[in-house]
Amino acid sequence: MSDIASNRQARRDYTIVDTWEAGISLRGTEVKSIRGGKINLRDAFVRVDKGEAWLYNCDIQPWASASHEQHDAKRTRKLLLNRREIEKMHAMADIKGNTLIALRAYWKNGNVKIEVGAGKGKTHVDQREDIKKREQKREIDREISRHNQR
């Protein structure tokens, strides 16, 4: 499994509670563009509508060598999931403060997969605490490495 694109901002702004792996319905020119790395998940999110999961704001740039058939860069794309997974996603999204976010896109057995996460928005204080924890971990690791070098 190799990553194509990731949404690093999502992990900073949200506490990820649960994740799912979803297939995605694509056109031929979209697959060619993704192979070229022209995909952006920064503002991508998922909505469950009438028992189907849809990916919004996923930016797949048009393929330069395409013929007259060209895709819209930010069209909504259907996610391919089991009914139970869709129901679980819908239940998580109904909880106040939760959002369904596209976390990363990757190849698996020649198919494009999207990792979708249910996230609860972090406040500014939560983000500061995460930074503090990260800095403390770095300091501990530095001290351990200095001690081991002696």
The answer to whether the CB of 104 falls within 8 A of the CB of 3 is yes
Positive/negative CA dihedral, 86, 91, 94, 97: negative
- At 60 the pLDDT is 87
Q: Which has more pLDDT, 64 or 95?
A: 95
pLDDT of amino acid 66: 63
pLDDT digits (tens, 9 = 90+) for 27-52: 888 888 888 888 999 989 999 999 99
Using pLDDT thresholds of 50, 70 and 90, give the confidence band for residue 74. confident
CA torsion sign for 64, 47, 126, 106 is negative
Whether residue 134 is predicted with pLDDT greater than 70 in this model: the reply is yes
In the structure, what pLDDT confidence band is assigned to residue 23 with cuts at 50, 70 and 90? Answer: very high
* 23: phi then psi, degrees, rounded to nearest 5: -80, 165
DSSP code for 83: H
What percent of the chain has a predicted confidence (pLDDT) above 70? Answer: 96
Q: Once rounded to an integer, what is the mean pLDDT over residues 88-101?
A: 90
With a cut of 90, say whether residue 1 has pLDDT above it: no
Q: What is the mean pLDDT of residues 55-72?
A: 78
CA R_g for the chain: 19
pLDDT for the residue numbered 73: 72
- In the chain, the domains with their CATH numbers are 2-122 (2.40.280.10)
Prediction pTM value: 0.78
